[in-house]
Amino acid sequence: MLKVYGCYKSRATRVLWLAEELELAFDHVPVLQAVKLDNPLAPDAPLNTHSPEFLAINPFGAIPVIEDDGLVLSESLAITLYLAKQYGGEIGPKDLEEDAQMMQWSLFAATEIEQNALKISRIANDDRLDSEAGQSEAAAAARLLKRPLSVLEKHFAAHDYAVGDRFTVADINIAEIVRYAQAYQPLMEANPSLSAWLTRCQSRPAFQAMWERRSAE
């Protein structure tokens, strides 16, 4: 059986959302980020990214990781793209061209959007978005996101989804990165087609099920 190592409040959400979409049976092994624990190596510490037993699975000490029929795979985008091709049907690529497009959009989001979107997410998670300093930091990150988000805005003004005009793994990969910047409303208001696409993705029952579990974690 497929095993997914990680926690919901991490990049594992991409994998766990996809698993819900595919209705995959899997064994979820909770693994916390070591940074969340005072002493990740304490005898009573929960399984975390510094635990020797986890490092035996992934020496990089990062989540998520999957085990699937003997294959051990880390890096969330590699995992989702693999699962989509292995089990995905319509969510995966139909041909080599779609495969390349899904990889292109996934890597675009990861390299051009994620870093600055995460800055906004951290400000929001720290409850600083309403402060003057927080607004200033968020605005600075938003300025750096203006160009890459405008690319997505133009694409989603003409297409309902990222590839093949159907919901695919590419939408999951992009949506889970754009979500980091979602709390900064001026950015969403400036990109209405992107915002509408994100709402479509997050309205899916599989996302809602994943998010409910994430909220309860």
All CATH 1.20.1050.10 domain ranges in the chain, comma separated = 93-209
**Distance (Å, rounded) from C-alpha 44 to C-alpha 51?**
11
Phi and psi at residue 3, to the nearest 5°:
-115, 135
Q: At residue 127, what is the residue type? A: D
CA dist 74 → 43, 107, 140, 160 (Å): 26, 15, 32, 30
pLDDT tens for residues 152-169? 999 999 999 999 999 999
Q: Would you state the pLDDT for residue 34?
A: 97
All CATH 3.40.30.10 domain ranges in the chain, comma separated = 2-87
- Count the neighbouring beta carbons within 10 Å of the beta carbon of residue 183: 16
CA 78 to the chain's CA centroid: 12
Name the stretches of the chain with pLDDT < 70. none
Which is nearest to 34 in space by CA: 5, 61, 72, 67?
A: 61
Pick the CATH number of 93-209 from 3.50.50.60, 3.40.640.10, 1.20.1050.10, 3.40.190.10: 1.20.1050.10
User: What superfamily in CATH does domain 2-87 come from?
Assistant: Glutaredoxin (3.40.30.10)
pLDDT tens for residues 107-129? 999 999 999 999 999 999 999 99
Q: Would you state the pLDDT for residue 170?
A: 98
**Distance (Å, rounded) from C-alpha 191 to C-alpha 182?**
11
Q: Would you state the pLDDT for residue 184?
A: 96
Q: Would you state the pLDDT for residue 25?
A: 95
